[in-house]
Amino acid sequence: MRVRVQAEPFDFGAECASFAAGRPDVGAVVTFAGRVRDDGGLDRMELEHYPGMTEAALAKIASEAVARWALKDCLVIHRVGPMRPGETIMMVATAAPHRADAFAAAEFLMDFLKSRAPFWKKEYGADGAAWVAAKDEDEAALGRW
C-alpha cells in the first residue's frame, strides 16, 4: 500500500505499468485517473492540503480498503498546488485476486477522496476565484459504504 501527496505531475501510464508488476497472485487491477475538467472558463485550479494530516487520512482509508477487500496492493497519488485543465490530479490503483474486490475498493477510495479527504479546492476563471464545496451526490455516494 502506497500513498503519495505531491505537487509534481506524475506519469499515469508509468505508474500503471509498474503497479502490481511481478505479482502472480493478482488477478485483477483497477486504475482510475482524475483530471482537471474545464466546464467553461476555467483557467486553473489549486488544491491545498494540511501536510501530515492529509497523508495520514489517505493512509488510513487505504488501509481500510486493503483489509475490507483483501487487496494485494493499493496506490493513491494526489497532487496539490496549481493545475490547469487536462492535467491529472490524482490516481487510484487497486490489485486483488478477483475483479469484484478490485472494483469495489477503487470506488470506495474514490468516494472517500471526493468527499472526505482533507483537500481544499479553489477554481480560478474569468469571473474570479471561488472555493469548491463537496457535492451532494459525492456525499451520497460515500454513504453506501
How far apart CA 71 and CA 90 sit, in angstroms, is 20
Per-residue model confidence (pLDDT) at position 140: 73
Residue ranges covered by each domain of the chain: 2-143
Q: Quote the distance between the C-alpha of residue 66 and its chain's center.
A: 15
Q: What pLDDT, in 10s, does the model give residues 89-140?
A: 999 999 999 999 999 999 999 999 988 899 999 999 988 999 998 777 767 7
Q: Which helix (H) or strand (E) holds 60?
A: helix 53-68
In angstroms, what CA-CA distances link 74 with 24, 27, 60, 105? 16, 14, 12, 9
The three cell numbers locating residue 75: 496506490
Q: What pLDDT, in 10s, does the model give residues 39-85?
A: 888 999 999 999 999 999 999 999 999 999 999 999 999 999 999 99
Please give the CATH topology (third level) of the domain spanning 2-143.
Aldehyde Oxidoreductase; domain 3 (3.90.1170)
